[in-house]
A and B are shown apart, each in its own frame.
Chain A
Amino acid sequence: MRPLTSRRVLGICLLLLAVLFVAVVISLRMGAYPISVRDIVMTLFNGALGRRERIPSEFWLVVFGLRLPRIALGILVGAALSTAGAGFQALLRNPLADPYVLGVSSGAALGAILSLIALPFTPGAIQAAAFAGAAATIAAVYFLGRRGGQLDSATLLLAGIVAATFLSAVIIFLMTSLSGRDLRGMAFWLMGDLSSSPAVNLRWLYLVLIIALGSIYTTSADLNLILTGEQEARHLGVNVNRVKLVVYVAASVLTGLAVSVSGAIGYVGLLVPHVMRMLFGTDYRLLIPTSAIGGAIIIVVADLLARTIVAPTELPVGAMTAIAGAPVFIYLMRRRVR
């Protein structure tokens, strides 16, 4: 018996944050301009203390101007997608749930593209539209995934795959017929990458991330019980409908947030929560924060590989996560069938 305490949660999170820091430093080191690990750490340290005058200007430009914004974006996207995945898995009582697999990311991407066509210069419109697309898609998949009033695991996944294919086709149709306009590339929306910087200030996006993560975290003790069964959770005093609403909205916000800045990156929301469960157990009070940090680590590393494997060309980061994620999905699916 090893009880979960707030100290244990904090300790594990600090450990993972240290891993994330190492990944960030390695990622900062890689690129055309050579810069040593020592210089990176010094630059970060002085930057954090606000002592800009001590940093050589070329280091400042490379670290804070060019490489860190992209990494910060990756951290945001990874944390958002992984937490959304863990949330959807509990909400739908399906261990294979993931924003990409369920078509939610495609719905968010379609929403984002439509807002770029209709309201190209409104700040925040793309995020709001991506959220609306995500929320509408998950609602549709939820109702299509029911059989005889019950949520059926296989039907749900099929509904998600159908939704993803259909929405991707609509995206391809729109992109092809509107090719003259500045809507970013098709590969961006269908596969996801981190190469273009968002029009909205990162601080606002991080604020939304923290609010959504926090809301899901407040339900984590309830989610533990909902995983045993909604009916049983009700007997034990959980307000199941309220919890489901919070998770539904927050996970849709997180998906919309990630997709609006990076396109539809796949399998992170599936991969990361499962690895964290294997490492630290199924308690959502630990799973939510570890998934968020773990997702950040995975995206930072995946983007590092995407930038360097076939340098000077770049792969979309979504290609990296799909190459790693698809086999894991198959493995998890087969293990459940057995």
Chain B
Amino acid sequence: MNASKEDRALASQAISLRGAPQACLKVEQTSYAYAATDRSAPEFTLGPVSFEAKEHELVAILGPNASGKSTLLKLLAGLEKPLAGRIEVDGAEISTLDLRTRAKRIALVQQESELLFPVRVWEYVLQGRYPHGRRLRFESDGDFLTVGNALSQVGAEALRDRWMEHISGGEKQRVILARALAQQPSLLLLDEPTQHLDIGGKVELLRRLRRLADEGRHTVLIVTHELDLAAEFSDRIVLLHKGKCLRVGKPAEVYESDLLEEVFEAPLQVEIRSGERPRVILRGNG
């Protein structure tokens, strides 16, 4: 009797959880520090940082160089363990997950990789299925279906049979993104994804990420220093400066002229019209 009641309670909870987007990423009072040696004083400290992100959200970690963005990303990816605080993805603290489980939940897109031997695009994207397979298992039809879907999500179906070394930089970046999508992660992390792109490429990429966040079942998180792109496309911004988390919120809540001027050390002006996203203008001398 009791068990069946429990089952029903759990089932109804599951339904309610499925209905509303749940917090996929939870960062609680997380901090980190590193020093040249174990004994010397820390050269850089980060945090404490706290924020949450839900499914379908696009989060931007924003800040100038050396603000701690990359360090925070490493913590989120599970590459480094925080000194204090917790980071949860789908309700599990990431430092407790084994490598494969972590790779099923978190995908990290970095700058292009150096390949030792030539591989074709589909083989590369297929690597994203690794955490879902067992050791030595040969890929199933389902895996190939996922690869095809991932490639079409980034508009790269036509590249499928090309060699990785023969495609352009922008195409390569889309393929790397496709590999991350093939992991079917809850949390998709991108490290400075716009770095080597021209303005057209940047906008195209951010639109694509926006669409992935809207249509997929994951949270998209990017690390960037591009104020205008972050304002235009993200739901939530985490503003970092010299390792401190200054503000977390919607672009309109974070973007203030004085604050941004101080953080980015540049003459910036923020314009916010009601109901619109903020715009950042670089003031001239006048």
Contact = CB atoms under 8 A, between A and B. Distances in A.
A229 B127 CA distance: 12
A228 interface: yes
Interface residues of B, number: 36
Interface string B108-142: 10100111111100111001101101011111000
Nearest to B78: A235
Nearest to A285: B136
B168 to A, nearest CB: 19
B160 A236 contact: no
Interface string B130-164: 11010111110000100000000000000011000
Contacts of B123: 283
Contacts of B106: 235
A231 B104 CA distance: 16
B77 interface: yes
A235 B127 contact: no
A197 interface: no
B99 interface: yes
B221 interface: no
Interface residues of A, number: 30
Contacts of A93: 116
B136 A227 contact: no
B12 to A, nearest CB: 34
Contacts of B116: 93-95, 227-228
Contact of A234 (B79, B113, B119, B122): B79
A277 interface: yes
Given A228-B127, A235-B107, A218 B135 contact: yes
Given A221-B135, A225-B127, A227-B117, A235 B160 contact: no
A177 interface: no
A237 B161 contact: no
B67 interface: no
A235 B109 CA distance: 9
A5 to B, nearest CB: 5
A234 to B, nearest CB: 7
Nearest to B119: A282
A237 B144 CA distance: 19
B104 A237 contact: yes
Nearest to A94: B116
B161 A221 contact: no
A3 B103 contact: no
B100 interface: yes
Contact of A235 (B103, B114, B117, B133): B103
A303 B277 CA distance: 76
Contacts, number: 74
Contacts of A285: 136, 138
A227 B116 CA distance: 6
Contacts of A220: 136
B144 to A, nearest CB: 6
B234 interface: no
A6 B101 CA distance: 25
A237 B138 contact: no
Contacts of B107: 235
Residue of A4, A222, A235 with most partner-chain B CB within 10 A: A235
Given A95-B116, A225-B130, A237-B131, A4 B138 contact: yes
B183 interface: yes
B128 to A, nearest CB: 7
A238 B103 CA distance: 9
Contacts of A222: 135
A306 to B, nearest CB: 31
A282 B136 CA distance: 15
A224 interface: yes
A6 B138 contact: yes
Nearest to B116: A227
Contact of A1 (B133, B161, B183): B161
Contacts of B115: 227-228
Contacts of A36: none
B54 interface: no
A235 B191 CA distance: 13
Interface in A205-231: 217-218, 220-222, 224-225, 227-229, 231
A122 interface: no
B102 interface: yes
Per CB-CB distance, the 3 closest pairs between chain A and chain B, nearest first, are A237-B103, A237-B131, A237-B100
Interface of A: 1, 3-6, 93-95, 217-218, 220-222, 224-225, 227-229, 231-232, 234-239, 277, 282-283, 285
Interface of B: 77, 79, 99-104, 106-108, 110, 113-119, 122-124, 127-128, 130-131, 133, 135-139, 144, 160-161, 183
Given A221-B130, A237-B100, A285-B136, 12 more contacts: A4-B139, A95-B116, A217-B136, A235-B77, A236-B130, A236-B131, A236-B183, A237-B99, A237-B102, A239-B99, A277-B117, A285-B138
8 contacts: A95-B116, A228-B115, A229-B113, A235-B108, A237-B101, A277-B117, A282-B117, A282-B119
